[in-house]
Structure 1
Amino acid sequence: MEHVPETTAPAITPARINLAEVTPPIALGPLDGRYRAAVAPLVDHLSEAALNRARIHVEVEWLITLCNGAPGVVAPVVQGAPSLTTEEQAYLRSIPASFGAEEIAELAAIERETVHDVKAVEYFIKRRIAVAPEQIPGTSLPAASELVHFACTSEDINNLSYALMVQGAVRDVWLPAAAALADQLADMAREHAAVPLLSRTHGQPATPSTLGKELAVLAHRLRRQLRRIESAEYLGKLNGATGTYGAHVVAVPTADWPAVSEAFVGGLGLTWNPLTTQIESHDWQAEVYADMARFNRILHNLATDVWTYISLGFFTQIPVAGATGSSTMPHKINPIRFENAEANLEISCALLDTLSATLVTSRMQRDLTDSTTQRNIGPAFGHGLLAIDNVARGLRALAVNETLLREDLDQNWEVLGEPVQSAMRAASVAGVPGMENPYERLKDLTRGRRVDAERMREFVADLGLPADVAERLSELTPATYTGLAERLVTDYLA
């Protein structure tokens, strides 16, 4: 009988859950997911909600200025505007101060109707002004409602908002973290200022230094960039649709609008830019981001150097109880903090470079490329801040293997060829005979070959150097040939 194969039911593939529909929403990027804890403080400055809160703040302060003036400005700026009481000003300033989850949702709903983010902010504030009499009986605030966003283009509000946001993010979040890391590195430099280290120029054994001095170089470089960033200017403008105060002058020709604008921008804690198109030119942003990118690249240099010292065994990593270094090799402790830092610094620099290059150009009087671009300031800062956190944690988990450092030095006596030939040159100038061709003689002795302590000392003893010079060289070892390295750390690492 012919065999009839059994039929099998087709495999049933269960439908997958659509992760885009999971509640609460799942983050698309790692900064709002895996790494949120390290970068969360930036949310208060550089998120979309922070942007809208800053816009509300700027609009409110502009309304108060129009009604009550500013230092050096006649009040009211707009004739007939009510003079706002202390209570009314406090009420207005409470609008951005109390901007939370419910307000974020309300503003988003308004924007869905307006399809314009800044116009939505204007309507949001006007809603609060409309109900002000419920809290302040007899208030004149409703009479000032049409002064919200008076004579402003959206960019008047946006440029000031971004300046305040970036200023806050730099001063309150990024700079403290970066400065703390530089201080941590400086402390390590001082701690290890006298620990000898065989240098490697071009990857080859070279004149010894100290571990502390090499760390001090990087700390000094980082601190120089921090000083530049600390002194950064944050510019702002408020001058209308094309920077001419056109609507301002037509509506209120009696006001000195440049003076009003300067006082207002300065009152926000920013530097006034008197000459712009519709946008503030963003040059200050490019300057800040370039300095931050340079800080990142110096930090990247630190990460790669420390990674190399770990691979050589000069640094050992302190094990963390329960942690896994490798999924298959149980002996390993991977230098993951420094590798993660490298990657995040590269991403941060790429974003900062793009911001710097893109923001300084705007077609004619205005285009919108800066709108989307500036929404990536947060990720640029975030990846840098994450790297700073990784390096700081990585440095705290290091211990110095001084034994291996000294063994490395002791295996490379040929590095003393430099001081010996230099001493011969000095002796030759002083008239000591037999000091001819010092470099060539040391090259014949040391180049491409190992020289131990005995051979080096025999060579020095046969040179005919003055007794004090010969004694000084005979006592020299690779571990003691560190020049002024320790003093440089002590004297110049403030």
Structure 2
Amino acid sequence: MAETPVRIPSGRLSLASSSEQIALGPLDGRYRPAVAPLVDYLSEAALNRDRVAVEVEWFIHLTKNSVLPGTQPLSEEQESGLRAIVTEFDGDSVTELAEIEAVTVHDVKAVEYYIGRRLEALGLSRLTALVHFGCTSEDINNLSYALGIKGAVEEVWLPAARKLVEQIAAMARENRDVPMLSRTHGQPATPTTLGKELAVMAHRLGRQLDRIERTEFLGKINGATGDFAAHVASVPSADWQQVAKSFVEGLGLTWNPLTTQIESHDWQAELYADMARFNRILHNVCTDVWSYISIGYFAQIPVAGATGSSTMPHKVNPIRFENAEANLEISSALLDTLGATLVTSRWQRDLTDSSSQRNIGVAFGHSLLAISNVARGLGGLDVAENVLASDLDQNWEVLAEAIQMVMRAEAIAGVPGMDNPYERLKDLTRGHRVDAARMKEFVSGLGLSSDAEARLLALTPASYNGIAGTLVDHLR
């Protein structure tokens, strides 16, 4: 008879009902410290705080400009009191909003009522109807998301990405003249310098950050289908386009004058495409550095007490770069999906964007986590210059390119005996290892001009890297 399999208690009920916060996803659990700064911009609580902020500022904007008959500018105390609703938004506020939403079954309506409850204490109960005046939910949501995303990009993600790129650039400058064998198609090729190759990485990443830095964060506040219909019907005397434009721009956003019920989210798709491209270039950095570690160009600095492998004590695994690869792939997949989904909305409105946008923080989080891991990984590397030098010295055949190009130049200058340079070098080097002595012997027998021969005899794999080090100066 077959043995009865051992059953391991699942603990499902005890975990699900636990009073402790047990995260379903890794960003809110294992990796929370690395992504915590995003919580203040892209969490559900941050979204609700920003909704409150937009509603409050709209209320103040309408009164300050006396847009509606019967309104007048608020006192400084009243304005401060309204803005305190935002600055004092905390865990209790989140709980209260959730209780209101349980009744309204509508998150933005809950925000309207939340603010309304606080007007009497400010002597503004007469203006309760002014909260959410002329607005559809998406007027508040699009501005709140724009503010949150803008803050997350400018205050959290972009500074971390810039710091990482500068870290790579600093490594490039430090190693600008360290010779390194290139490996085009994985094969020994014309040498370069480690610094120049790192500079290429930093330059590519920096270009994407420049694009992201120029992002336009668009917003609108124009009613249920983008036509200011309710606004004009209720207060036809107001210049509603100017009211809306000045309000959106006053929030630090770019006004979008032409929308349906939703702001079209095209700017978000543009941003996410640039971020995903940054992610993929950084992924390329990870795979390259991982490969350099595997062939010994970089040595990993052991961390006292850390375990490299559970069974092989000698190992220090490049886990920071592997972790980053996975998180960059997840982030890019989410950013691609967001960009593809958000640019489409049926007719004047559907709700596909609502669920999609709740994952913006997740996409940002996986990217930020990867940036953190790459920075930590790079910080734990030493350049093994002896390995780099040894690799170069074992591949003298890479000078074949230089020799045949000098022969071509000599032929053009009229030096005899320089025919078939490529073929002659191919016969010498293809399928063979050529050491220094054999290469110098070959050069000496070519009949080159004395200047050309001297230049080639002085050349080594370590010195054959053109102006690679100088190119590092193109980094800002």
8 Å CA contact 1:82–1:143 kept in 2: the answer is no
Residues 328-347 of structure 1, C-alpha deviation per residue, up to 9 Å, x if partnerless? 00000000000000000000
Query: What is the alpha-carbon root mean square deviation over aligned residues?
Result: 1.3
Corresponding position of 2:407: 424
Partners of 1:293 and 1:461 lie apart in 2 by: 53
Change (3 A) 1:13 1:308: closer
Corresponding position of 2:207: 224
Equivalences for 1:454-493 in 2 at 5 Å? 454-489=437-472, 491-493=473-475
Pairing partner for 1:19 from 3, 6, 15: 15
Letter in 2 for 1:213: K
Q: CA deviation at 1:283?
A: 0.4
- 1:406 to 2:389 alignment: yes
- 1:100 to 2:82 alignment: no
Gaps of 5+ in 2: 1-5
8 Å CA contact 1:45–1:169 kept in 2: the answer is yes
Letter in 2 for 1:153: T
Letter in 1 for 2:163: A
Corresponding position of 1:200: 183
Corresponding position of 2:39: 43
Letter in 1 for 2:475: L
- 1:85 to 2:67 alignment: no
Q: CA deviation at 1:13?
A: 8.1
Corresponding position of 1:5: none
Partners of 1:358 and 1:172 lie apart in 2 by: 26
Pairing partner for 2:226 from 218, 232, 243: 243
Q: CA deviation at 1:18?
A: 2.3
Task: Say which SS state the counterpart of residue 329 (structure 1) adopts.
Answer: coil
Q: CA deviation at 1:449?
A: 1.2
Q: CA deviation at 1:14?
A: 6.7
Task: Say which SS state the counterpart of residue 117 (structure 2) adopts.
Answer: helix
Task: Say which SS state the counterpart of residue 454 (structure 2) adopts.
Answer: helix
Task: Say which SS state the counterpart of residue 307 (structure 1) adopts.
Answer: helix
Letter in 2 for 1:78: L
Task: Say which SS state the counterpart of residue 268 (structure 2) adopts.
Answer: helix
Q: CA deviation at 1:468?
A: 1.1
Change (3 A) 1:452 1:15: closer
Q: CA deviation at 1:25?
A: 2.2
Change (3 A) 1:487 1:14: closer
Corresponding position of 1:311: 294
Equivalences for 1:261-276 in 2 at 5 Å? 261-276=244-259
Q: CA deviation at 1:391?
A: 0.1
Partners of 2:16 and 2:318 lie apart in 1 by: 34
Equivalences for 1:44-443 in 2 at 5 Å? 44-69=40-65, 76-132=66-122, 139=123, 141-443=124-426
Change (3 A) 1:367 1:14: closer
Pairing partner for 1:28 from 24, 35, 38: 24
Corresponding position of 1:73: none
Partners of 1:340 and 1:40 lie apart in 2 by: 18
Q: CA deviation at 1:144?
A: 1.4
Letter in 2 for 1:92: L
8 Å CA contact 1:197–1:479 kept in 2: the answer is yes
Letter in 2 for 1:109: E
Task: Say which SS state the counterpart of residue 453 (structure 2) adopts.
Answer: helix
Q: CA deviation at 1:269?
A: 0.3
Give TM-score, length-normalised by structure 2.
Answer: 0.98
Partners of 1:434 and 1:277 lie apart in 2 by: 76
Letter in 1 for 2:474: Y
Partners of 1:263 and 1:103 lie apart in 2 by: 29
Partners of 1:83 and 1:452 lie apart in 2 by: 86
Task: Say which SS state the counterpart of residue 119 (structure 2) adopts.
Answer: helix
Partners of 1:357 and 1:169 lie apart in 2 by: 21
Q: Quick one: percent identity of the two aligned structures?
A: 69
Q: CA deviation at 1:12?
A: 10
Q: CA deviation at 1:316?
A: 0.4
Gaps of 5+ in 1: 1-10, 70-75, 133-138
8 Å CA contact 1:174–1:385 kept in 2: the answer is yes
Letter in 1 for 2:49: R
Partners of 2:238 and 2:353 lie apart in 1 by: 31
Residues 419-468 of structure 1, C-alpha deviation per residue, up to 9 Å, x if partnerless? 00000000000000000011111111111211110110000000000111
Residues 274-311 of structure 1, C-alpha deviation per residue, up to 9 Å, x if partnerless? 00000000000001111000100010000000000000
Letter in 2 for 1:460: V
Letter in 2 for 1:35: Y
Letter in 1 for 2:272: Y
Partners of 2:64 and 2:129 lie apart in 1 by: 15
Q: CA deviation at 1:470?
A: 0.3
Corresponding position of 2:3: none
Count the aligned residue pairs.
471
Partners of 1:285 and 1:15 lie apart in 2 by: 41
Letter in 2 for 1:67: T
Residues 97-143 of structure 1, C-alpha deviation per residue, up to 9 Å, x if partnerless? 110011110111101110000000000000011232xxxxxx3x212
Letter in 2 for 1:200: R
Task: Say which SS state the counterpart of residue 128 (structure 1) adopts.
Answer: coil
Partners of 1:445 and 1:120 lie apart in 2 by: 80
Residues 44-83 of structure 1, C-alpha deviation per residue, up to 9 Å, x if partnerless? 00000000000000000000111112xxxxxx00110232
Partners of 1:479 and 1:83 lie apart in 2 by: 74
Partners of 2:8 and 2:142 lie apart in 1 by: 52
